[in-house]
Amino acid sequence: MNKKIFWLRVSYWAGAICDGFMVIPMLFPKIGGAMLGLDNFNPGVEYKYAMYVGASLMTGWTFLLVWADRKPVERRGVLLLTVFPVLVGLLISGIYAVVVKYVAFENMIPTYIGTRVNHSESLWIVKI
């Protein structure tokens, strides 16, 4: 297998696994609260509704990445869409949560690492 195709496939699967994993705290707010260090996190109906909608979109994106992996070069544009605006939006949202002191910085570190790992090779795909 070509080295570039290998890294494309790694990027697709890293994204799919990270996205799939993040559906869990979206569907189960207690788990999400624990991950972010929010004691006694008990969100209201509005939050749960928004998270359930987000979880369905995240699940769809997970399957989109798996689908893109089937033809990695032809569907490489999916990775660009994942980096801009998806990953950039997640990064900005995390920064906001820390700045307004909703989540402690140390509790956001796993999210920042996941954002970096998730499609770490995506920026060079335009060259393929």
Q: Is residue 102 part of a domain?
A: yes
Q: Is residue 57 part of a domain?
A: yes
Q: Is residue 79 part of a domain?
A: yes
Q: Cα(121)–Cα(13) distance, rounded to whole angstroms?
A: 12
Residue range(s) defining the domain that contains residue 11:
3-118
Q: Is residue 125 part of a domain?
A: no
Q: Is residue 62 part of a domain?
A: yes
- The rounded percent of the chain whose pLDDT value lies above 90 is 63
Number of domains in the chain: 1
Length of the chain: 128
Q: Cα(56)–Cα(59) distance, rounded to whole angstroms?
A: 5
Q: Is residue 124 part of a domain?
A: no
Q: Is residue 126 part of a domain?
A: no
pLDDT digits (tens, 9 = 90+) for 99-127: 999 999 998 887 777 665 554 545 445 45
Give the pTM: 0.80
